Structure 1
Amino acid sequence: MTRTFALPYFRLGAVALCLLGASAVHAQTYPNKPIKMVIPYTPGGSIDTVGRLVAEQLQKQLGQTIVIENQPGASGLIGSANVQRAKADGYTLLFNASSQVYMPLVVGKKTYDAERDFTPIAQIGFVPLIVAVNNDVPAKTLGDLAALAKANPGKYTWATSGLGTTSHLSEEMINRALKLDMEIIPYKGAVPQLTDVVGGHVSAAISPMPGVHSFVEAGRLRPIAVTSKTRVEKMPNVPTVAESGMPDFELLSWYGIWAPANLPADILNKLNAEVGKAVKVPSLKARFDELSFVPTQSTPDEFKALIRKDIVTIGKSVKDANIKIDF
């Protein structure tokens, strides 16, 4: 005969109170040591620039040091995989762009599941990308570049900050839509990508505004288009890609913070709340404005919904364009 035993009511209540008490203490004591924030690209690029600004503000609010670790390689996969394997205690975070979601869509072999293997904490904001060329390339518009590439097969090339990134996907989509035969050369981040375009080793690049803007301001690169639906306020004379022969084109790079899967809810909610406060701080907003970066506020569920939406929409574009990469 099987016997069942009921835990007395007062004991159940005591257990529940203990659990609630532990959760409350957990939330109050976090963080009590430095936090590591992994940026899976080289220093100096757009993701690194914005990530460091956000980390600096969060340090002030949380009262703990946030140590930035740049872990470039395999178009961000190495840094992301290291965070995926870390303990889900809030002391290892990932600052990445939308490529965090796009990479599993374009790589041939299994990497990680963008929804299952991470806890989305908060979207930080989004930014347009700039189509820029070496100063010696005789193109003032994207139409000019397309005409040059068609007239000189194999001569003109793209540099991308990494395979599977928004930079890479933009270049692939423009190649296919305008029927260009421009080779795409991958780099381990925006700084080496743009440096080689400046040096004339590669003809052109598409890169997020925060990283490319300083090159443009210094006159080291010429902007010929932006990937947003409307023109960028800081570059009013630069047309959009949609105005340049690809109607309705828009592709923005958005940034966010993740933790390993199964981050405790109290830590998740605390971090989300602190990010929400951070993006409203006037000094940080001013720096974002300088970079044409548009901050956003999102709950974890809203961020999760954005990721799901992009998996569907970008996944379709990747499939239609037959974009596949292997490492």
Structure 2
Amino acid sequence: MHAFRSSSLHHHHHHHHRRRLLAALGTAACLAAAAPAGQAQGYPNKPVRLVVAYPPGGATDIVARVLAQKLSEQTGQQFIVDNRPGAGGNTGAEWAARSAPDGYTLVLATTAHAISPALFKNLGYKLDKDFAPVSQLTSGPLVIVAHPGLPANDVTELIALAKARPGVLNFASSGNGQSTHLAAELFASMAGVKMAHIPYKGSAPALTDVMGGQAQLMFDTILSAMPQVKAGKLKALAVTSAKRSGAAPELPTVAESGLPGYEAIAWNGLLAPAGTPPEVIARLNAELKKALALPEVKDRFEAQGFAAAWNTPEAFGDFMNAQVKKWAQVVQVSGATLD
């Protein structure tokens, strides 16, 4: 299955693009004479828009702002973060999918974008057909946090508690289909327990309810959860990555503390609309390799609980395909729905 090919040509076969296309063809004919294939050589020569499909202040937005600043410094062109939240990240992705494939509109993908194809029946875009991968950006674990009064202090005790009270234990998430939702569903299906899901609009209101005891636990990013743990308002049980996290090395992994083989990571990556010239993708990938290797960028990300994770467009495409398959299986097994 050769999904995620940068040269993907089967995009934009929507008829409302037809009129715009015809209008553009006239102009394009004149321009083609003036600007041969060298067009992408001068890339970027005007501001570039980085679409973040979430509100300002969240993990993805922070990643975008750190990288936008570095890319601006490196290329001498402004990279501007454009927040377009809604529909669990799908509003921004759909908007970016319909943008011109010229490298001037890019979108930050997250784990949620790999989960959506299995969860939403009528997405307005196809992840593998409408986008070309540029590079992964970050990778990091979630952390299981609980109300301090929950009578479980580690994964083994949590599983025992959930088995003793089937369907009584509930978990909050930052929204249906987000990694915070599906990481918990993966946990429940692997542990053979039933937990009730309470979706919120974002991480902050979900954590507030866990601290208040309205919800009992949450699988959340280290970035938003750990300050509350340090303040004593939540307790942390484990991290969801295969290895311990440098951001919270004292916390065991889920796999080592009661559920072998469990792994769920949250990640970010950069996508361009399908049909973006390969040399534009190559330029972006090279600039990202440089930016993600900078010690100040790595430190900034480490403080947020994730690692810089550059890779090639091909490797990132393969990674996304594997993630889409993994989460589709979780959706199927858990019967997770958008209720």
Larger radius of gyration: 1
Alignment size in residue pairs? 308
1:94 and 2:101 matched: no
- SS of alignment partner, residue 82 of structure 2: strand
The equivalent of 2:82 in structure 1 is: 69
Report matched runs for 1:53-68 at 5 Å: 53-68=66-81
User: In the aligned structure 2, how far is the partner of 1:123 from the partner of 1:164?
Assistant: 20
The equivalent of 1:83 in structure 2 is: 96
Instruction: Choose from 194, 218, 229 the match for 1:205.
Output: 218
Instruction: Choose from 269, 274, 290 the match for 2:303.
Output: 290
User: In the aligned structure 2, how far is the partner of 1:265 from the partner of 1:41?
Assistant: 27
Root-mean-square deviation (Å): 2.4
Residue 122 of structure 1 deviates from its aligned partner by 0.9
1:26 and 2:37 matched: no
Residue 118 of structure 1 deviates from its aligned partner by 0.9
User: In the aligned structure 2, how far is the partner of 1:324 from the partner of 1:275?
Assistant: 36
Percent identity reads 35
| 1:23–1:266 CA contact under 8 A, matched in 2 | no
The equivalent of 2:241 in structure 1 is: 228
1:105 and 2:118 matched: yes
Instruction: Choose from 27, 43, 49 the match for 2:56.
Output: 43
The equivalent of 2:148 in structure 1 is: 135
User: In the aligned structure 1, how far is the partner of 2:82 from the partner of 2:203?
Assistant: 17
Note the alpha carbon deviations across 1:166-200, whole angstroms, 9 max, x for none. 22111112222334332212223223332332333
1:241 and 2:275 matched: no
Report matched runs for 1:109-124 at 5 Å: 109-124=122-137
The aligned amino acid for 1:223 is: A
Report matched runs for 1:143-292 at 5 Å: 143-152=156-165, 155-292=168-305
- SS of alignment partner, residue 38 of structure 1: strand
Q: TM-score, normalised by structure 2?
A: 0.82
The equivalent of 1:305 in structure 2 is: 318
Q: TM-score, normalised by structure 1?
A: 0.85
Residue 201 of structure 1 deviates from its aligned partner by 2.8
User: In the aligned structure 2, how far is the partner of 1:124 from the partner of 1:307?
Assistant: 12
**Deviates further, 89-98 or 249-258:** 89-98
Moved over 6 A (4+): 18-21
Instruction: Tell me: CA distance 1:196–1:72, structure 2 relative to 1, closer, same or farther (3 Å).
Output: farther
| Structure 2: tracts of 5 or more residues without a match | 1-31
The aligned amino acid for 1:89 is: D
| 1:47–1:255 CA contact under 8 A, matched in 2 | yes
